[in-house]
Each structure stands twice: as C-alpha cells, then as structure tokens.
Amino acid sequence: MLSDEDVLAAVRRSVQERGETGQVLPEEADIGRHLLIEGEILRSVETRTEEERFHQGYIDLSDRPVYRSGLDWHRIPPPEDPGAETTLFLVRRGSVDDRACDCGNGTVACERCKATGELSCPPAKACGDCQGVAACLWCDGTGRRSRPSRDRVGAGQVGREGRVTCGQCGTREAACAGCGGRGRTTCARCGGSGSRACPDCDRAGTVPHRRCGGTARTVTWTEGVITRRPVIEKVKVSTPVLPYGAWRSARAHGDWTDVRVVGERASLARDVDTRVAAILEPRLLPREDEVGRRVTLRHLSLARVTLASHPHRVFFVVPAPGGPPHVAVWPSEKRARLIGAVALAALVALVVVWRLLA
C-alpha cells in the first residue's frame, strides 16, 4: 500500500504534468483509502441419489464401485479439479439380482394372431367406384346376360361413358372400369388368399417377451449416483464504493496481489492482508454439500485524494507494477452535478427553440 507521502508525490506530479502551478500541501489534502477485491470462489457441490435399476439381458457391473447400505456414508476422495463436473455410478452391495426370465427362451405366443402367424382377411371387397351396383350394364356381374340386348339398345351414351369391356360377359363399354364388371375388387393386402401375415410376429407366431426384451434374462440392482458440479460465486468488492472509471483505471494500471486457494474447505493463507481476510472469510464459510473449492482472487489498495486548491477534481492514485503510481483524474461529485445541470439546461433550451421554429 502506498504511503501518504508517495500518494501526495504522485498527485503533485500529475498537477505539474497538466501545466498547473502551485504546491500540493499535506494540510490541504484529504486522503482516503479504497480496498478493491475481485475474482471468483468456485465450489464443487455434491449430490447423492439412489434408485432401483432394471436391465433387459446381461450387463457387467463388476467395474462399478460397491457401497454398503448407506450411500451417504460412502467416502470418495475430494476432487482434484473442483471445476470439473463428474458423475460416479455405484452398486449397492448385495442388491444385484441376475436371473433367467420366466418366459424361458425370450419369446411368447403372439396375442394378435393367437400364435398362428396369420390373420384372416376378406379376399375381396365391394368396388369403390360402383359399390357393386350396376357393375355391368348387361350381366350385373354374373357373367350371363340377364335380358335381351335389345332391351339395352335405348340406353343413352351418358350411361356408357367411362365403361370398359366386361370381364364376365365380354360386352364392350358395359362394365365399371374399377372392377371390370365383377362388382368386387381383390384385396390388396392378402391378394385374394383370405389370409395375411400377422404384422406383429411376421408369421413367426411368437414375439419377444416384453419384460426381458427377448433376451430371456433380467438384471435388477440398487444404483447409487454421486454427482459433482461446479458452482461459481463472483466477487467484486470495493470499500468504500468506487465509480466505474476508477475501477477501470485500477484494472488497467494497478499492481494487484493474487490470492489462489485450492482444496477441500481450504481457507486463506496466514499472510493474506487482514483487511482482505476480514471481507472474504464470511464468504468462505463451508456450504452445504461442498466437497472442494478453488478461490481465485486479487486485491488492490488505491488512494482517493481531494485538494482544497482543486475542489472540482478527484485524484485516484493506483500503485502500478514496476513504476511510479498511476493517477486518474475525475470531476468531483459537485462538478459532475454541475456539468449534468448545464447539459440538461442546454437540452431544454434546444427543445424550446425547436418548438418555436416549428
């Protein structure tokens, strides 16, 4: 941390560099200190769950860790990298039940076809065009002329439009184009055979047993799952509060001190600044289900100086790495309010003039 003498010397140099005369006397200077801390606290948070598992067929569980009756009492090492997300699957001791399925060979009789492999199917159905009515103007689908041809001589051309040669009686332009005079069409699914393959078993008569999935074995066990995931808490502290511009100057030019702690419920080192430790220790209290942490922070102390001879300015003196302190000059709060009031008055005047001209 810079001494008061170093702070005043830096302010004096800044005033001179601006081409201003006069001395910077200690008695006219008001020096305040600001402690800045920023970074993150990363915690590895653990959750443990237990559930019953079921698997169709054989499964090798020999490579999974085994725990006793209570998953909460099972110990595993703290994470080497708290920022890594991991999931560990375990098996409860004595819970594995590997057995043959009651079905015997993994199949059961198909319920849809009653193990026959076939489903009955109508070999033909009514024609979709004529619905079986007037399939043929001469034979009505029987193949025999039901009345003399002279009875049909008076039929108009409207009734014959779209008609084809009857496949039953051979009369031209008399039969429905859809069924060829038969009044029915062959079923496309069974080809007129009267039966078709069962879609569930594909004529096998058996289907895989639903419980074992056709494997003839089932395995049940109690599974424990331990999941670790990182939870990050961002830290940004300024005592007292600093404006954004001062923060920006500190980030760009400051000589920060790094603090890095890794480990299970790790705490700050003894050589950490007491002011920093007092601010951070409440944040470092162990959280529920915390199994590891990584603290990555940095802190900096800068000086805020106001001078009686320069009442409208505030000097922020930031210790810089390997050189003289960096001085950032900002308007005082009073000057900032004055500038804002002037800008607002100018805006109001501009609006009034614009309305008068309009």
- The pLDDT, as a whole number, for residue 354 is 84
Average pLDDT of span 89-118:
94
Structure tokens at 287: 């959280």
- The pLDDT, as a whole number, for residue 76 is 93
Q: Does position 232 have pLDDT exceeding 90, yes or no?
A: yes
- The pLDDT, as a whole number, for residue 158 is 39
Average pLDDT of span 78-96:
95
Name the least confident of 13-17, 90-94, 282-286. 13-17
Q: Does position 160 have pLDDT exceeding 80, yes or no?
A: no
Q: Does position 256 have pLDDT exceeding 80, yes or no?
A: yes
Average pLDDT of span 260-276:
80
% of residues, the chain, pLDDT over 70: 91
Q: Does position 309 have pLDDT exceeding 60, yes or no?
A: yes
Angstrom distance (rounded) from CA 45 to CA 260: 19
- The pLDDT, as a whole number, for residue 156 is 41
Q: Does position 146 have pLDDT exceeding 80, yes or no?
A: no
% of residues, the chain, pLDDT over 90: 45
Q: Does position 150 have pLDDT exceeding 50, yes or no?
A: no
Q: Which of 200, 212, 198, 202 is nearest to 107 (CA)?
A: 212
Mean model confidence pLDDT for the chain: 86
Name the least confident of 74-88, 133-147, 240-254. 133-147
Q: Please write the tens of the pLDDT for every residue from 174-218.
A: 888 888 888 888 888 888 888 999 999 999 999 999 999 999 999
Query: What is the CA 149 to chain-centroid distance, rounded?
Result: 80
